[in-house]
Amino acid sequence: MTSTDKALFTPPRVARRPMRGSDQPQPDNPDRPLRVILVSPPYFPVPPDGYGGVEAVLADLADALVAAGHEVTLLGVGEARTQARFEPVWEHSFADRLGEAYPEVAHTAAVRRAVARIAATSGADLVHDHTLAGPLNAPAYAGLGLPTVATVHGPVDAEMRDYYRLLGREVALVAISDRQRELAPELNWVGTVHNALRLETWPFQADKQDYALFLGRFHPNKAPHLALEAAHAAGIPLVLAGKCAEPLEKEYFDREVKPRLRSSDHVFGVADATAKRRLLANARCLLFPIQWEEPFGMVMIEAMACGTPVVALRGGAVPEVVVDGVTGLIRERPDELPDALRQVGELDPAACRAHVAARFTHTQLAAGYEAAYRRVLATAERVPAPSRSRPRVSGAHGPLRARAPLAR
């Protein structure tokens, strides 16, 4: 991690005084500080160095909850990078195994041990899980007196809808867009909390260079091939930056992207935190030609925070994030994108940033989740937590950390 990245991401550490007896949270006080365990996926540190939208949001949430006076424990991989108390579950990340089953399953088992230890020692009020398999631990957490809140970061169509339905009432689900909830209204939703960012870490720039930017995975759902076609038709250079590591991404790139590339296009590769900000701030627009029900689209608010409007196809949460005609241009069909690329320069960069400041800040993120936490705690059937005299949960690697070597 570069010194620039640290300056952008890591807030200054502040000393927190020990809690006196009168400061201890009181169960009958609805406004008391909460003790929250945040569970991160096993693939990237929090915040990530480059790719990792969930981890970026989780970092901002952790810091904002701490700033609001709550006690936050973050379970993840790597090193401490937020204001939350950090407990590493693994010494190394599983970045090179993204998409495989083993990291999710092993992480779920290791996290369960860590949560049991925390509940038996320092105590907690609830678990907020940001992984796919983690909500399967909800019955075990209920036995410790801890309700489970899970943010649904992905789509809820087909199999994933069945999965969350099978979780039933044991897991309180938080959506990242209203559209996500509309697609599966029968699930156990307790609220919608839009993703957000720390605005001060994103540079605003009013003067733009003459290129459009595609920033995302090289995947059919993200449709960078449509971005290429639109940019070529509009006569505008295109920069493509994103992840192309999984087999499907590589196959799609070779089949749909590579044959369309021209001399006016530049394939940047994966952009780290610094490069992403530079690319977004300089671009005339972010091109977002999605072909699926995008649950949110973090890159859209990142672009607008930099004063860069979004040219997008209507789908998923796009209309919830972009104000058509103000912070971007939303179109219905791919053949309408070239004209939008020509017109987007008329939009005001300051209006883009103001929209993010009004709707998508990390303080609003924390307030939304705190409200969801308190709704869950108000209705949960609390099971008495186990006595502190109970044996600590342990295993071959001790009471907290799973230290199994990673397969490479």
Take residue 289 and report the two structure tokens written for it. 């030609």
pTM of the prediction?
Answer: 0.83
Residues 286 and 254 in one domain: yes
Q: What is the DSSP letter of 43?
A: S
- Domain holding 224: CATH number? 3.40.50.2000
Residues 255 and 310 in one domain: yes
Q: Percentage of the chain with pLDDT > 90?
A: 75
| 3-state secondary structure (DSSP) of residue 303 | helix
Residue 4 lies in a domain: no
Confidence of residue 97 (pLDDT cuts 50, 70, 90): confident
Residues 163 and 259 in one domain: no
Residue 265 lies in a domain: yes
Take residue 67 and report the two structure tokens written for it. 């700033």
pLDDT, residue 90, reads 86
Question: Parallel, antiparallel, or unpaired for β 126-129 and 85-90?
Answer: unpaired
Confidence of residue 158 (pLDDT cuts 50, 70, 90): confident
Residue 283 lies in a domain: yes
- Which residues span the domain enclosing 234? 200-359
Select the more confidently predicted residue: 44 or 12.
44
Residues 258 and 281 in one domain: yes
CB-based contacts of 211, cutoff 8 Å, min separation 6 = 236, 237, 238, 239, 266, 282, 283, 284
Q: pLDDT for 208-242, tens place per residue?
A: 999 999 999 999 999 999 999 999 999 999 999 99
**Which residue pairs from 242-245 have beta carbons closer than 8 angstroms and sit at least 24 positions apart in sequence?**
242/51, 242/214, 242/215, 242/216, 242/217, 242/218, 242/270, 242/271, 243/51, 243/216, 243/217, 243/218, 243/270, 244/217, 244/218, 244/269, 245/98
Residue 393 lies in a domain: no
Average per-residue pLDDT for the chain: 87
Residues 97 and 140 in one domain: yes
Residues 233 and 243 in one domain: yes
Residues 264 and 300 in one domain: yes
Residues 277 and 226 in one domain: yes
Residues 127 and 259 in one domain: no
Mean pLDDT of 315-327: 97
pLDDT, residue 387, reads 47
Q: How many domains does the chain have?
A: 2
pLDDT, residue 381, reads 52
Take residue 118 and report the two structure tokens written for it. 């925390």
Residue 210 lies in a domain: yes
Q: What is the DSSP letter of 23?
A: G
Residue 46 lies in a domain: yes
Residues 224 and 241 in one domain: yes
Residues 84 and 194 in one domain: yes
Beta-ladder partners of 129: 39, 150
Of 382, 377, 383, 384, nearest to 172 (Cα)? Answer: 377
Take residue 314 and report the two structure tokens written for it. 């209507």
Residues 192 and 236 in one domain: no
Residue 391 lies in a domain: no
